[in-house]
Amino acid sequence: MSAPWLDEIRWTDDGLVPVIAQQAETGKILMFAWMNRESLALTVAEGYAVYWSRSRGKLWRKGEESGHRQKVLGLFLDCDEDVIVLKIEQEGGIACHTGRESCFYRSLIDGQWQSIEPVLKDPEAIYRKS
């Protein structure tokens, strides 16, 4: 993918950049993921978040199984040119594979990680079995 704006990003040694997905309307952080050059270029071209799955070693179109796609409303690069924030509209209101609005649903309370967000939909009902 040859695009001058892609060359301005400081990619990790393995060709990735960290990405934070933020709900545009509320500012709430919904999730963190990685992108490579191809997934970032596809995100811009398609208008929906496409990530790089390190565990699967392949492109991952957010919501391809669940239907919970992320429409990209804005894309921002930090001052060090090594982190991207996507301002998104979360389709279906669920970003996390646990069925919650956000992947950041645990808070450190009294020295323990405690869940502070409800499960909005049972993951068994969201994901098809392979």
First to last CA, the chain: 32
Q: Output the pTM of the full model.
A: 0.90
Please report the pLDDT score of residue 128 as a whole number. Answer: 64
Please report the pLDDT score of residue 47 as a whole number. Answer: 98
**Tokens 């993921």 belong to which residue?**
33
Instruction: List, for residues 20-48, the tens digit of each pLDDT value.
Output: 999 999 999 999 999 999 999 999 999 99
Look up the CATH architecture of domain 4-121.
Roll (3.10)
**Tokens 């950041």 belong to which residue?**
104
Please report the pLDDT score of residue 3 as a whole number. Answer: 85
Q: Which residues of the chain have pLDDT under 50?
A: 130
Q: Report domain extents, the chain.
A: 4-121
